[in-house]
Structure 1
Amino acid sequence: MTEHGQDQGAFRAAAARLVAARHPHALGALLGGSAAHGRATASSDLDVAVLLPDRGHSGREVVRHEGRVAELFLNTVADLPEFFAWDRARRRGTVLFLYDRGVPLADPHGHVARTRELARQVLASGPAPLTPQEREYGRYALTCYVDDLVDLTTPGDVSDRTEPAGRYEQLSVADHVLREAAHLPTAHHHAWTGVGKWLPRRLLEADPVLGAALLRGHRTVAERADPAPLAAAARQVLDLLGGPLREGYAHRWTP
């Protein structure tokens, strides 16, 4: 049973009813996320991948179904190769993982099975590597954020370490440091990245030691207003990619 008091079969049945109601001509569908694997909570949504005939339209829909928010990831069969390439290029693989780990709801003609196999092949190839421009921008951006984070340090207890506005700035900059620093080592290790709750999960999978140092450092800023551990961990990330980058960085804008 899940926290919400419903078993996986109930979630699958609800997702199947949703697909039948909104996309009766679907070629197949599967349920992903926590609802598919017994980890759903009272606020968990339904993540449903839906395969449509080529006369349909790829996209995303967010609806409320039987009292629960549901997010439908819609793809036509013809769009799938290009869409999977796009999902790989952004290095998150959101829909790729949905097909890889989801539970089939209906697959009368084998389209879902073939799509899952394609998703697994793309996942096995790993995310797209950083381009030289992305790599240099990442070094430059993280260097700037670390400089800002260190500049916001003042002595004292948490209660009076900074003026309120400065403390808010410190927390905001710490968030940027963590996001940029997490993105770079995952790319360096040719691993998938993520956002939200998936950022720490993917980071720890890619580099358990450095990932843990970054996450502990971020927590230390939040709890004690001390940026030193996070700054130190971020500098280790920079060392992986060639060190800090300030003067000498250049970017040409192309309209």
Structure 2
Amino acid sequence: MLMQDKVVMVAGVGSGMGRHIALAAAREGADVVLAARTAAQLDEVAKEVGALGRRALTVPCDLTDPATAERLATAALEEFGRVDAMVYNALAMPPIEGFGTVPLEALSTAFDANVLAALRLTRQLIPALAENKGSVVMVGSMVQRFSEVSMGPYKLIKTALHVTAQNLAAEYGPLGVRFNTVVPGQIWGDTLRGYFGYLAQQRGDVTVEDIYNEVAAKINLRRLPEEDEVADAVLFLISDLARAVTGQALDVNGGEYHH
């Protein structure tokens, strides 16, 4: 098993990607630390982890709070005595607005809540990760790969996360710690299904399946990646299969675009 008896922290666990990442790690033999705002959601994922025969520590917290990083790292080490990998999947959505009009205060707040929050947590975990030659994966977005007027703040955050991972790879590579980014394309799950439903309703003469087929027709594999497939890519990057991979971005998009 790829992660047998290792400990994986997932920062940002909801019903979507965070859940799939945690369960993928547990299926491969890892115990998991689950961090997010909603305690009930964490408890549900913890039950699923337990059904797979692994342990889960739930830590309800606000990752934008500077005090959270130390508390989360301490809780993980007190419970398990080690942390082998951390996946940063948390997102405080920034304003969807162009750089020419977005309030700079809001942009600054979004940068702190996302990029600096990820860096704060990572810094707290460095000693434990170095002890076990561990790995960090930042979850990016296809928005990094193109420019769309209203998505500037979101692109800034996701690109900054990748740059952060690259520099950390250079800084802590000598200690054996690896840092990478996974860059999903459009992910077929509840959120996108709901959006396609909205588009179908607006057009009035098509179904969700029609919208899906229109989008998939432009993708090399003629289908959209699903959440568990992105989770598998994350699992690869934190596992020893990627032991010589650091400072990289792995695009998971079915061939929607090439980078």
> TM-score under structure 2 normalisation?
0.25
Larger Rg belongs to: 1
Q: TM-score, normalised by structure 1?
A: 0.26
